[in-house]
A and B are shown apart, each in its own frame.
Chain A
Amino acid sequence: MAIKSAPRVRVPAQAKAGELIEIKTLISHEMESGQRKDAAGKTVPRDIINTFEASFNGRPFFKAEWFPSISANPYQSFFYKATESGEFTFSWKDDAGAEQKSTAKLTVA
């Protein structure tokens, strides 16, 4: 399954310099573990999102490598220390090589 739906990301729009902000992300994906068997007894091939990465102004600051033990529709929250205004880029990559991206702007006062 390719990544179909638009991911949902919650990021504050503004922050003070040095402030620690929490980022929450959610994306729709079956995260087929490769352990399940279909009605005919055949193993359903593995198909998961295996990498999530967050960057700010092009510099990666957080990465998660997901394994089949991660639940369907994977949720991920993490932190970022705001220092300057700019743009976040979030990226999800699946086993088939498909990539889904999302961006969010942050203004540092």
Chain B
Amino acid sequence: MTLHVDATLAPSRRRALQLAGFAAFAAVLAPRMSLATEADVADEMKKLFSGKKIGEGKIKLDLPEIAENGLVVPINIDVDSPMTEADFVKSVHVFADGNPLPQVVTYHFTPQSGKAAASTRMRLAQTQNVIAVAEMSSGALFSAKAQVKVTIGGCGG
């Protein structure tokens, strides 16, 4: 009788262990911090640019399509501008809509920069959109957006 009970219990215990294992795995994968949303980025942009209209184009945003390691994701920004005293790129703001804090970097250029381009490396917590907004000396705004698929998130431990 006891043997029979053991035989029926064994598979369910294995199943329970499997479930426990899966739960632990899921807990590791689940984000442990509150992440920004697209709405947060929109809010942030409204604050920075006081609701002005943002055009498309002018910005070349170089990002990997797939980032294996979210801790170090290269980003290169290049804004099309003559960079003269009369017409230059004043600043470029970069946002990531799925990170705990949506702001990544803000660049300030001058005509002496010669070229409104810069590269750095950033952290991405998950697959998300990266948005760059350029502010020209005339006050005109332009934006570009690209999605990066993240294999291993770059935040927390």
Contact = CB atoms under 8 A, between A and B. Distances in A.
B115 interface: yes
A64 B123 contact: no
Nearest to B83: A81
Contact of B106 (A61, A65, A68): A65
B151 interface: no
Please classify how large the interface on chain A is, using the bins under 10, 10 to 19, 20 to 34, 35 or more: 20 to 34
A40 B20 CA distance: 23
Interface residues of B, number: 35
B107 A62 contact: yes
Contacts of A11: none
Given A79-B113, A80-B113, A35 B100 contact: yes
B11 interface: no
A77 B118 contact: yes
A97 B10 CA distance: 62
Interface residue SS majority, chain A: strand
Nearest to B122: A69
A7 to B, nearest CB: 14
Q: Which 3 A-B pairs have the closest CB atoms?
A: A81-B114, A61-B112, A63-B108
29 contacts: A33-B100, A33-B155, A35-B155, A37-B32, A62-B107, A62-B108, A62-B109, A62-B118, A63-B108, A64-B106, A67-B103, A68-B100, A69-B103, A69-B104, A69-B105, A69-B124, A71-B71, A71-B72, A71-B121, A72-B71, A75-B121, A76-B119, A78-B118, A79-B113, A79-B114, A79-B117, A80-B112, A81-B83, A83-B112
Interface of A: 20, 33, 35-37, 56, 59-72, 74-81, 83
Interface of B: 32-33, 71-73, 83, 96, 99-101, 103-115, 117-124, 154-157
